[in-house]
Structures are given as structure tokens and as C-alpha cells.
């Protein structure tokens, strides 16, 4: 049942373990180790089937290879998925035991794959994983790790928005620009604060409406209903909630000049990159814009950067995007295609 998916994938290795004690499936997908160990988070999620979970892992691992390469980090791309029958409560014995068994699997790969946090996993879970394997990043600061990567991601997206605004309007200033932040969680909430400090006019949307309202009150922003986010007029639409938000149905409704946000896999399909360009909307490729999290982890935990170096590399996301936009125009391709070319060229050059 997994054969077709794995046969049709261009990655290096897939490790599959069924956890009899819980009924969970564990998938570790190593897409590329050309630039360094395959690094990417562990997603814990309830999927309709193990097949869907593996498909998600394979796709996410490939995207991590592109993200690491575009960020010019000495890491390859990987991802792990824990497809659980139900999410075990944080701090429960069941969750801890599952994580320890999963850590054994990661350890058996001897550093080919280095894990981190993703959907439904965080520093506390990684502290448990660290008990069984050293191949983990983003443990809590008390355990010597870099902790939550949300702050680094938000700073990187902020620089991505400035670079995109500079390209679209000829000036990076956010003073008076309207930015719609869709999803004000770990990344979107922090991003909203940075944007408010920079003088942007903020529109906030979240399925958790009280969360959006509370932040809007604090920052002097307005809110719109979550369903209205994509079609609300703004200069910059910043998707910071779920993937697939740019698709055949939403793109004709967009009323923005720029899309730049944190969500992974924003384009539902490759054609949606062309649809955006045809609509005159500048798209900041997601894996370039949201690389601040891996830059933060790699810089703080393995590359020994001080705060100044880290800040410079986060700001460098803006420079990378400017390069991507320029080469897209020069080569007559979409920014998404230009980013893929940049990342693939770096991987090829290292072979």
C-alpha cells in the first residue's frame, strides 16, 4: 500500500514503524542528505489513513530540502510523522512512552535524520526525545536547546514582507500599509506585533475569534471573520495558519498586491503560482519566507552564531527574496519556480 508513494518519490530513504502499543504509525522521511543531515520536525496528527500520513511526510520532507537549501544552511531535508489514533495528552505517560519509542527509531538512523518540532509537538516533547537520542534540535532552553522556533520564524516572515513590499511598491516601509495576518498563533501573533511596531495597519483573522480580538485590542488592529480573510482588501496577505490557502477558488477572490506569510505549502498546486502571477499578485515563496525557524535552530544549536549573526541571517531572508524576485523577472518564471531553481542549484552544486 505504501509502495506506489515511495516509488514515486525522489527522496533517499523512508523508515516505517508500526507502534503496536498505541496503533500509531511512525514515518521518518529522509529526502536529501546532500547538504548535510536531513533536518525537519516531527508532526503528530490524526490522519484518515496511514497512506495519507506517509504522503504528508514525503511531501513535507521534500519541502524541507528546498527550505534548507534556499536558506543556505548545511542541512538536508527530512520530516517525521507520528500518525496517531488520537493525540495523547501533553505530559501523559502514554505520550511520553510513544515519544521514547519514536526516539529509539530516530537514534537508529545515527544522525542521518535530525528531528525538531512541528504540528502538535514542542520543546517539552523534544526534551523526552532527547533522553534517547542526541539527534534532536529545539529542546527547551533548560535542556540546552533553542526552544520554540516561532519567534525566529516570525522575524523572518517580517523581513520577507518588507522585501516583498519593496519589490511591489518600490519602498520597504510598512508605515500605513495594510497587512492581513491570517492565524495569530505562535508565529502570526508575534508577526502582528512586529508589524504593528513598524507602523502597519493590521487586520487579524483567526478561527479562534476571541484570540484575534484580544490581540487586535492590544495592537489597535481590526479583525475580520476567518472565512473572509482571503477576500479582504489589503496590501499584504500573510497566511500564518494552514496550507493550501492559495488555490483555484481563493485566488480570484484575493484583493491584495502581495502574499507573504509563514504557512507551509500555501500553493495548493504548482499552477496556482502562475494564477497568482497572472492576477498581478507578488508571491513570496513560503519556504523562503518561513525559514527563520530552521535558521534559528541551526544557528543557535549547531553553527555557534551569536545574536548579531542570527539577526543578520534572519534579515538575509529579505535579501534571498529580492534575489528570487529578480531572477523570476529575468527568466520569465514565477517566484515559486525561481526559488525552486535556486534551491535545486545549491543542492546540485554540492553533489
Binding site for ligand NAI (CB under 6 A): 149-150, 153, 182-188, 205-208, 211, 226, 240-243, 262-264, 290, 293
| Nearest residue relative to ligand NAI (C-beta) | 185
CB closer to ligand NAI out of 242 and 302: 242
d(CA 214, CA 136): 35
Nearest to 39 by CA among 300, 264, 294, 286: 294
CB closer to ligand NAI out of 116 and 276: 116
Q: How many CB atoms lie within 10 A of CB 185?
A: 14
Joined together, the cell numbers standing for residue 181 give 495576518
Minimum distance from residue 120 beta carbon to ligand NAI (Å): 9
Minimum distance from residue 266 beta carbon to ligand NAI (Å): 8
Minimum distance from residue 126 beta carbon to ligand NAI (Å): 13
Residues 278-304 as b/e (b if ≥16 CB within 10 A, e otherwise) read: eeebbbbbbbbbbbbbbbbbbbbbbee
178-182/113-117 β-pairing: unpaired
CB closer to ligand NAI out of 128 and 263: 263
45 is catalytic: no
3-state secondary structure of 49: coil
- Helix (H) or strand (E) segment spanning residue 62: helix 50-70
Minimum distance from residue 332 beta carbon to ligand NAI (Å): 29
CB closer to ligand NAI out of 88 and 292: 292
Residues 308-340 as b/e (b if ≥16 CB within 10 A, e otherwise) read: eebeebbbbbbebbbbbbebbeeeebbbbbbbb
- Is residue 39 within 8 Å of residue 68, measured between CB atoms? yes
Q: What single string gives the DSSP state of each residue in 209-235?
A: HHHHHHHHHHHT-EE--GGGTTTS--S
Lookup result for grid cell 534571498: 320
CB closer to ligand NAI out of 77 and 101: 77
Minimum distance from residue 259 beta carbon to ligand NAI (Å): 14
CB closer to ligand NAI out of 101 and 152: 152
CB closer to ligand NAI out of 13 and 214: 214
Q: How many CB atoms lie within 10 A of CB 16?
A: 15
In the set 31, 79, 95, 159, the catalytic residue is 79
Nearest to 75 by CA among 290, 294, 246: 294
Q: Where are the alpha helices (DSSP H) in 109-235?
A: 123-130, 150-169, 186-197, 209-219
d(CA 138, CA 204): 28
Catalytic residues: 79
Amino acid at each position: 500500500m505504501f509502495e506506489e508513494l515511495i516509488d514515486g518519490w525522489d527522496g533517499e530513504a523512508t523508515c516505517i514503524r508500526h507502534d503496536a502499543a498505541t496503533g500509531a504509525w511512525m514515518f521518518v522521511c529522509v529526502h536529501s542528505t546532500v547538504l548535510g543531515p536531513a533536518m525537519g520536525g516531527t508532526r503528530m496528527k490524526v490522519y484518515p489513513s496511514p497512506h495519507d500520513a506517509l504522503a504528508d511526510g514525503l511531501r513535507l520532507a521534500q519541502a524541507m530540502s528546498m527550505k534548507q537549501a534556499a536558506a543556505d544552511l548545511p542541512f538536508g531535508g527530512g520530516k517525521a510523522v507520528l500518525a496517531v489514533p488520537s493525540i495523547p495528552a501533553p505530559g501523559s505517560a502514554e505520550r511520553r512512552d510513544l515519544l521514547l519509542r519514536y526516539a529509539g527509531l530516530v537514534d537508529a538512523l545515527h544522525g542521518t535524520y535530525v528531528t525538531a518540532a512541528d504540528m502538535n509537538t514542542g520543546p517539552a516533547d523534544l526534551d523526552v526525545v532527547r533522553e534517547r537520542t542526541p539527534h534532536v534540535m529545539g529542546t527547551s532552553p533548560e535542556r540546552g536547546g533553542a526552544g520554540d522556533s516561532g519567534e525566529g520564524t516570525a522575524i523572518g516572515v517580517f523581513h520577507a514582507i518588507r522585501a516583498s513590499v519593496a519589490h511591489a511598491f518600490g519602498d520597504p516601509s510598512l508605515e500605513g500599509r495594510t497587512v492581513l495576518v491570517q492565524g495569530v498563533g505562535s508565529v502570526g501573533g508575534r508577526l502582528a506585533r512586529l508589524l504593528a511596531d513598524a507602523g502597519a495597519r493590521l487586520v487579524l483573522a483567526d478561527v479562534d475569534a476571541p484570540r484575534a480580538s484580544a490581540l487586535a485590542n492590544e495592537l489597535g488592529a481590526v479583525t475580520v471573520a476567518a472565512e473572509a480573510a482571503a477576500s479582504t482588501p489589503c496590501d499584504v496577505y500573510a497566511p500564518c495558519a494552514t496550507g493550501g490557502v492559495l488555490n483555484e477558488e481563493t485566488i480570484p477572490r484575493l484583493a491584495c498586491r502581495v502574499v507573504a506569510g509563514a504557512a507551509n505549502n500555501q500553493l495548493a498546486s504548482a499552477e496556482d503560482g502562475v494564477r497568482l502571477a497572472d492576477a498581478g499578485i507578488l508571491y513570496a515563496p513560503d519556504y523562503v519566507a518561513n525559514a527563520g525557524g530552521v535558521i534559528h535552530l541551526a544557528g543557535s544549536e549547531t553553527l555557534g552564531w551569536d545574536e548579531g549573526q542570527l539577526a543578520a541571517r534572519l534579515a538575509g531572508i529579505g535579501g534571498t527574496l529580492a534575489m528570487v524576485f529578480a531572477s523570476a523577472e529575468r527568466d520569465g518564471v514565477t517566484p515559486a519556480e525561481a526559488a525552486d531553481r535556486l534551491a535545486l542549484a545549491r543542492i546540485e552544486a554540492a553533489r
